Amino acid sequence: MRRDRRINMDFGLTEEQRIIQDTFKSFCDKELSWEYVRWMDENVDFPPDELWQKFVDIGFFGAAAPEEYGGQAMGWVDQMLAYEQICKKSMSVALAMGVTSGFGVRFINELGTKEQKDKYLPLIVEGKWKTCMALTEPGGGTDILGALSTFAEEKSDRFVINGQKVFITGAHVADGLITICKTEKDVKKAKSWSTFIVPREAKGVTIGKIDKISCHHCDSVEIFFDNVEVPKEELLGTRGNAFYEIMTVLNPERIAVAMMGVGITAAIYEACMQYVQDRNAFGGPISRFQILQNY
């Protein structure tokens, strides 16, 4: 007798996930109208404070943070359901909010000491500490292990950083720059990196604007480090182990990048569907033509 070994898997959303999706859809429909997104793209290099505060109020920055720090410790599917709705409206807003919620919460929560978590996580959840991740350098991003040359030299109770980063999203407004530097000289490259939390206001930090062809309401900029002194307490994670550590942070972040593609594609599809039903030609909506029905 053949045994039926099929397992029924339910890929549908739970009731709670549907509520998250609906809540963020309504929120984004209200706060990210096409007119407002266009206004931002033509006038600002980062979403205005009022919009930032609305994301704080809806709990966006606490989504991934542990409950003891005021967060909701939501799972990845739940977080991405919310994120998709933002991506459908504005890639810039998704980037702007995403670097603090994604890089900020994850770097601190995964790699931080108890003191660092106590210091930074509540501030992130309350929207009072913006951050960014400074990894890419002018020498290259894909081959970052070969390209990274920004160096943090140990000097008594601090590290002194010299070098340059490029394309760093949100660094021009970030309070803390999560910066990956080389700290070791005579070891394998993969064992030579360390991560630091560098205050953007630190002496020797300079930001340079990069003109982009899109996503103007969330700049990605250059950072120059000229003898920037960082106390040893701002070392994040284990010295020399950052290459391996940032993989644990960056792998889930790729899911968020994929959601940008999903969100943008869904938004285009919905806009096209609406357009072919509204637009008339030859006495009726163009949606009745066979070529358009193929889609």
Ligand X SMILES: Cc1cc2nc3c(=O)[nH]c(=O)nc-3n(C[C@H](O)[C@H](O)[C@H](O)COP(=O)(O)OP(=O)(O)OC[C@H]3O[C@@H](n4cnc5c(N)ncnc54)[C@H](O)[C@@H]3O)c2cc1C
Q: What is residue 75's three-state secondary structure? A: coil
User: Hunting for tokens 């609305």 — which residue is that?
Assistant: 54
Binding to ligand X by CB under 6 A, coded x per residue (else -) over 165-204, reads --xxx-----------------------------------
What's the full length of the chain, in residues?
Answer: 295
User: 97 near 27, Cβ under 8 Å?
Assistant: no
C-alpha to C-alpha distance for 127 and 51, rounded to whole angstroms: 11
Q: Does 140 bind ligand X (CB under 6 A)?
A: yes
Binding mask 45-84 for ligand X (x = CB under 6 A): ----------------------------------------
The span of 27-35, 71-79, 104-112, 139-147 binding ligand X (CB under 6 A) equals 139-147
220 touches ligand X (CB under 6 A) = yes
The strand pairing partners of 184, in sequence order, are: none
The window from 18-26, 115-123, 138-146, 262-270 that contacts ligand X (CB under 6 A) reads 138-146
Distance in angstroms (rounded) separating the CA atoms of residues 221 and 170: 7
**Six token digits for residue 283:** 């006495």
**What is the smallest separation between the CB atom of 146 and ligand X, expressed in angstroms?**
10
Site for ligand X in 93-112 (CB under 6 A): 99
Q: Give 5-38 as a 3 state SS string.
A: CCCCCCCCCCHHHHHHHHHHHHHHHHHCCHHHHH
Q: Return d(Cα 225, Cα 229) in angstroms, integer.
A: 9
Q: How far is the CB of 237 from ligand X (least distance, A)?
A: 16
Taking CB under 6 A as the criterion, the residue among 97, 111, 135, 249 binding ligand X is 135
Please state the closest distance from residue 232 (CB atom) to ligand X, in A: 23
Query: Which positions lie near ligand X, rule CB under 6 A?
Result: 99, 132-136, 140-143, 167-169, 220
